[in-house]
Amino acid sequence: MHHFQYRENRLFAEDVDLTALAEQIGTPFYVYSEATLRRHMRVFRQAFEHTDALIAYAVKANPNLAVLKILAREGAGADVVSGGELQRALEASISPEKIVFSGVAKTFDEINAAIDVGIYQFNVESEPELEAIAKIARARQTTAPIALRINPDVSAGGHEKISTGRTEDKFGVPWSMARSLYGKARALEGVAIKGVDVHIGSQIAELAPFESAFKKIATLIADLRADGCPIERLDLGGGLGIPYGEGVTPPHPKDYAEMITRVTKPLDVQLIFEPGRMIAGNAGVLVTRVVYVKESIDRKFLIVDAGMNDLMRPALYDAWHDIWPVEKTERDITEYDVVGPVCESSDRFAKARSLPELLPSELVSIMSTGAYGAAQTSQYNSRPLIPEILVHHDQHAVIRQRPSFQKMIESEVIPTWLV
């Protein structure tokens, strides 16, 4: 459910007319619905009410400060994967006791910064990282709270490039090494074992892979406790898919919660979740204008002013995004390849997509782009980062500005010998 709906054939974000907004802001731009963000966070929270679960929003999905602030107000913590994300979470007033730190390459500076503020937990992905954290904590005469991220070796559907829970993926501690590494952690001064962490991938559309991974982890917890490890938390990561309009219907958070309660109840642990896409994905759209319609031999290209640098998912993961005309018409349905201006053949948002006929200067909305959209943007082809707009009822605010060309190049320096 989201708040992007047609009113008399014009697409609105909550009570804001996107045609009028495009006039004011200039295209392309992202627009997020605050009500949708809050709703998704509440649905997730309600699925686990009556538990002490920590919902640590995966900042990487959409790290905009205003988005973090909204989610913080809804009770979210943060799952961060870099010092920059840690800084953002703190800036949005997310309490350090609600921050977990994931990622395979935490550096000395990042570990120090996280110990400084007193985060809730490091999700440790390897033996050398475990040793590094312990060493830094010892030098500071403190103890760092940790969980080991275990790779349960399950295949989680989804796209090849977003699967993380198989042996060949770089993430986590291999299943067969888990117990012995916990043994090592137990004997290590500078770290305190708090729990177990697992995250098997993203855009997972069925419960089965989650269930088989979580059941495996439950058996591991029993073994670890038998070994004398005090496991009091279980971080189940993120990964719950969303409908992108391609006919896939991922499980409702309620059913996900029901399965998890069944599998984890006997363990008596605090659950931690790291949802990203499920919170932000359907809370945002990318509004872009048709520049040209190009007739080729065997197809028509709808050339729009947004490119793969503004939204990478189709080029990176062959992702499907629904594309809606911002003004509904009764025109004939035509098949278009919807492409951007970037000088790459992979700069294509959709292939042979059926749309009502569109004309230059008309607007289309690329749907479900609130997660891993603006977050992955670059300035490739010297295209300034596009603005992000937040809508709240009939109000809107620019929450990231479009930099000028001057701003875009101001950090570059010509060396003295070239001046």
Ligand X SMILES: *Cc1c(COP(=O)(O)O)cnc(C)c1O
Residue ranges binding ligand X (CB under 6 A): 58, 60-61, 79, 102, 199, 202, 237-240, 274-278, 371
Minimum CB–partner distance for residue 165 and ligand X (Å): 11
CA 338, 341, 344 angle in degrees (round to 5)?
90
- Nearest of 320, 253, 289, 306 to residue 42 by alpha carbon: 253
* Minimum distance, C-beta of residue 207 to ligand X, in the bound complex (Å): 15
Q: Smallest gap, in angstroms, from Cβ of residue 194 to ligand X?
A: 16
- CB nearer to ligand X: give 102 or 126: 102
Q: How far apart are CA 315 and CA 33, in angstroms?
A: 25
Q: Which of 297, 333, 343, 413 is catalytic?
A: 343
Nearer to ligand X, 321 or 383 (CB): 321
Contact yes or no for 182/174 (Cβ under 8 A): no
Of 135, 151, 259, whose CA–CA distance to 198 is shortest? 151
Active site residue 229: no
- Helix and strand numbers, DSSP H then E, in the chain: 12, 21
Q: How many Cα atoms occupy the beta-carbon half-sphere of 380 within 13 Å?
A: 16
Q: Rounded to whole angstroms, how far apart are CA atoms 269 and 197?
A: 12
* Nearest distance from C-beta of residue 108 to ligand X, angstroms: 21
> d(Cα 182, Cα 297) in Å, to the nearest integer?
62
3-state per-residue secondary structure call for 97-148: HHEEECCCCCCHHHHHHHHHHCCCEEEECCHHHHHHHHHHHHHCCCCEEEEE
Residue 224 half-sphere exposure, CB side, CA atoms within 13 Å? 31
Name which of 195 and 307 has its Cβ closer to ligand X: 195
Who contacts 214 (Cβ-Cβ below 8 Å, separation ≥6)? 198, 236, 259, 260, 263, 264
Tokens of 400: 């990231």
In whole angstroms, how close is the CB of 237 to ligand X at the nearest point? 5
Rounded CA-CA distance 284/390 in Å is 9
Cα–Cα dist 99/55, whole Å: 10
User: Between residues 28 and 238, which has the closer beta carbon with respect to ligand X?
Assistant: 238
Q: State the minimum distance, in angstroms, from the CB of residue 383 to ligand X.
A: 25
φ and ψ at residue 203, rounded to 5 degrees: 50, 50
Rounded Cα gap, residues 212 and 154, in angstroms: 8
Token reading at 283: 């809370």
The CB-of-102 to ligand X minimum distance in angstroms stands at 4
Rank residues 63 and 340 by Cβ distance to ligand X and give the closer one.
Answer: 63
Q: Measured from the CB atom, is 70 or 240 closer to ligand X?
A: 240
* Coil, strand or helix at 355: strand
Q: Which is nearer to ligand X, 98 or 199 (CB)?
A: 199
Q: Would you please indicate which residues are annotated as catalytic (active-site) residues?
A: 343
